[in-house]
Amino acid sequence: MEDGIRESLLHSKRKNRSELKEKTWEEVKKMWRIAAPTIITRVSGFGILVVTQAYMGRIGEIELASFAIVQSIIMRFVDGILLGVGSSLPTVCGQAFGAGKYHMMGIYLQQSWIILLTASIFMIPAFIFATPILRFIGEVEELSKQAGKLSIWFLPLFFYQLLAITTQTFLQAQHKIMIVGWASAFSFVFSMIFSWLMVDKLKWGVPGAMGSMNLSFVLILFTQIIYIFGGWCKDSWKGFSKKAFNELWPFLKLSISSGVMLCFEFWNGAVLVLLVGNMKNAKIAVSAFSICLNINAWVYMVSLGFLSAASVRVANELGRGDPKAAKFSIKVNLSISITVGVIFCILALVFGKSISFLFTSSTEVAKEVASLSVLLASIILLNSVQAALSGVAIGCGRQSLAACVNIFCYYAIGFPFGIFLCYVLNLQVRGIWAGMICGTAAQTLLLIYITWRTDWDTQVGKAMARLNSSIFQSSEELSSDDTSHA
C-alpha cells in the first residue's frame, strides 16, 4: 500500500516537472519570437550609429568628440521624449492584441503619430540652435561650434526615430517584428559598405559618414511602412481614420507618464556627458566616456529586446485575463535577461581595453576606457535586470509609478552622489559614473520590490477596464466609420 502511494507521488512529481518544463519551453519560445528580432533590430540600428562614430574617430578627435556631444546630449534629449511618449503604445497595443481587439491597434498607432508629430515641433530647434545651446550649458567653444555644424545632419535620424519607434511597437505587439529585424540587419551591412566607400575611398569626410548613416535608417523605415500599408497587417491596419482624433486625452495622459519614465532614464547619460565635458582634458574624457556609454548602450539594445518581450507578453496575458501566465512570463524573461547580462558583464571585463580601438586609434583614449571597464561591467549587469522589470511596468501600464522611481533614484541618489565623488573626492569620470551606478542599483531594487508586491488580479481588472472603455469599438462600428484606406 505504502509502495503504491510512494509510486503515485513520484509519478505525480515527474508529471509536474514534465509539465513545468513544457510550459517553460513554450514561454521561452514566445519570448524569443519577440525578443530575438527586437534585439537584431536594436543592435543593428545602434550598430549603424557605432559604425558612423568609428568613422568619425578616423576623421579626427574633434569630429569624434562633437559626434559624441550631439548623440549623447541633443539626440538623447529628443530620444528620451520620443521613446517616452511612444512607450504608451506597447501597453495599449499589447493588451488590445491579447484581447483580440485587433482593429483598435491601427487607431492607437495613428494617435501616437499625432502626439509625436506635435511634440516634434518643439524639438527641432534643439538641432538648429545646437551651438548656442551647448555654449550656454558650458561646453567648450571648439566642441560647441563643431557640434553645431554636425547637429543638422542628425535631423533625418530624428524623423526616423519619430516614426520608427511607433511602427516597430505596432508590429512587435502582434508578433510581426521579424521583417524589421531583417531590414535592420541589411541596413547595418549597407552602412558599413557605404561608410567605407564614402569616407575611405571617396574622401567625403563628415558628409560621407553622416550621409551613409541617414540612408541606412531610411531603408529600415521604408521597409516598415511598406509592410504595414501593403496589406501584411490587414487585421490591425484598416487605413487612416478620423477616430484617431477622438479621445486623445486618455492616450496622451498615459504617453506623458511614459515619457517621464523614460526621459529621465535617457537624460541621465546626457547629463553625465555634460559634466565630463567640463573637466580638464575634455576631449580625452568625453571621447573615452562616450565610447563606454556607446558600448553600454549597444549591450543595452539586447536588454531592450527583453524589455520589449516583457512588455508585450505581460500586456498580452493581462489582455487575455490570465494573471498566472503574466507572472510566469516575468519569471522566465527575468531569468534569461540576467543570464545574458552576466555573459556581457564578463566580456566587458575581459575585452575592456581592446574594444575601444574599434572607435579610436588614440592609445590615450583606449587607456582611459580600460580604466572604466569595471564600472562598465557593473552597469551592464544592472541594466539586464532593470530593463526586464521596466518592460513589466510598461506591460501593466504602470509608467507613472516607474517614473517616480526613476526620478528619485537618478536625481536624488545617483547625481548627488556622483558629483560628490567627482568633485569632493576628486575621482573625476569614475566618480560620476560610480554615483550613477548606485542610482541604477537603487532603481533596480525598488522595481524588484514593486514587481514582487504587485497584485496581478488587480492588474487584470485594470486591463479589462481599459479595454472596455469608450475608446474601444467593435469592428462593425469601425468599418462604418468614414475612413480613407492607405
Question: Rounded to 5, what percent of the chain is helix, strand, coil?
Answer: 85, 0, 15
Q: Render pLDDT for 292-348 as a digit per residue (tens, 0 to 9).
A: 877 887 788 888 888 889 988 998 888 888 888 899 999 999 999 999 999 998 988
DSSP 323-381: HHHHHHHHHHHHHHHHHHHHHHHHHHHHSTTGGGGGT---HHHHHHHHHTHHHHHHHHH
Q: Count H helices, E strands: the chain?
A: 21, 2
**Other C-beta atoms lying within 10 Å of the C-beta of residue 154:** 21
- Which position has the higher pLDDT, 51 or 433? 51
Q: How far apart are CA 400 and CA 259, in angstroms?
A: 9
Confidence of residue 475 (pLDDT cuts 50, 70, 90): very low
Place of cell 503574466: 326
pLDDT tens-place string over residues 405-440: 877 888 888 888 888 887 788 777 778 778 888 988
CA distance 198 to 206: 9
Per-residue pLDDT at 485: 41
Q: Are 199 and 142 in contact (CB under 8 A)?
A: no
Residue 153: pLDDT band by 50, 70, 90 thresholds? very high
Query: What pLDDT digit, counting tens, does each position of 168-185 carry?
Result: 989 988 888 889 999 999
- CB 121: neighbour CB atoms within 10 A? 8
Mean pLDDT of 379-402: 86
Q: What is the pLDDT of residue 403?
A: 75
Question: For the chain, what are the domain ranges?
Answer: 31-471
In the prediction, which pLDDT does 469 show?
64
Which amino acid, 348?
A
Q: Which residues contact 38 (CB under 8 A, 6 or more apart)?
A: 168, 172, 177, 181, 304, 305, 308, 309
Which one is predicted more confidently, 371 or 336? 336
> What confidence tens digit (pLDDT) does each residue in 55-65 have?
888 888 788 88
pLDDT tens per residue across span 64-117: 888 888 887 788 778 777 776 777 788 888 888 888 888 889 988 998 898 888
User: Is residue 213 pLDDT above 90, yes or no?
Assistant: yes
DSSP, res 243: G
Q: Pick from 117, 169, 88, 116: which is nearest to 466 by CA?
A: 88
Nearest residue to 237 (alpha-carbon basis) of 78, 58, 52, 105:
105
- Check if the beta carbon of residue 261 is closer than 8 Å to that of residue 82: no
User: What phi and psi, each to the nearest 5 degrees, are found at residue 484?
Assistant: -115, 120
User: Of 482, 57, 433, nearest to 246 (Cα)?
Assistant: 482
CA distances, 327 to each of 100, 457, 476 (Å): 21, 10, 34
Amino acid at residue number 57: G
Helix (H, G, I), strand (E, B) or coil at 459: helix
| CA pseudo-torsion sign 172, 178, 184, 185 | positive
Shortest CA distance to 163 belongs to which of 221, 105, 202, 124?
Answer: 221
Phi and psi, residue 241, nearest 5°: -140, 145
Query: Residue 410's pLDDT is what?
Result: 80
DSSP bridge pairs for 240: 484
The cell numbers describing 151, all together, are 547637429
DSSP of 379-418: HHHHHHHHHHHHHHHHHHT-HHHHHHHHHIIIIIIIHHHH
Taking the C-alpha atoms of residue 298 and residue 94, their distance in angstroms, rounded to an integer, is 26
Span 436-470, pLDDT tens digits: 889 889 989 999 999 998 888 888 888 888 777 64
CA distance 329 to 24: 9
Q: Are 356 and 366 in contact (CB under 8 A)?
A: yes
Q: Cβ contacts of residue 461 below 8 Å, gap of 6+?
A: none
Question: Which of 104, 59, 88, 27 lies closest to 334 in space, CA to CA?
Answer: 27
Strands of 165-317, DSSP E: 240-241
Q: Which helix (H) or strand (E) holds 486?
A: none
C-alpha separations of 464 from 231, 320, 321, 434 in Å:
29, 9, 8, 42
Q: Which helix H or strand E contains 1, and what residues bound it? A: none
pLDDT at 214 over 90: yes
Residue 351 DSSP class:
S
